[in-house]
Amino acid sequence: MIVWAIWENRNSFLNCGRVRDSGSVVNWADDLLTEFRISRQVTVSPPPCSPCSPSSVWLALMPGLLKLNIGFASRRNSSSFDVGVAIRDDRGKVLIARSNLAIGSFSADIGHLMALREGLLLAKFYNLPISSVELSSRFVFLVQLFENI
> Could you list the residue range(s) of the whole structural domain that residue 98 is in?
66-144
Are β-strands 130-136 and 66-74 bridged in parallel, bridged antiparallel, or unpaired? Answer: parallel
Work out the number of other CB atoms within 10 angstroms of the CB of residue 130.
19
Find residue 72's DSSP bridge partners.
83
CA 5, CA 36: separation in Å to the nearest integer? 14
CATH of residue 98: 3.30.420.10
Is there a single domain that holds both residue 133 and residue 79?
Answer: yes
Cβ–Cβ under 8 Å, residues 25 and 6: yes
Give the helix/strand (H/E) hosting 133.
Answer: strand 130-136
| DSSP at 72 | E
pLDDT at 34: 83
Is 16 part of a structural domain of the chain?
yes
Per-residue pLDDT of the chain (149 residues; tens, 9 = 90+): 777 778 777 777 777 788 888 898 888 888 878 877 777 676 656 566 555 555 545 567 788 899 988 888 877 777 788 888 999 998 888 999 998 887 877 777 778 888 888 999 999 999 999 988 887 654 444 444 444 44
Is 130 part of a structural domain of the chain?
yes
| DSSP at 43 | P
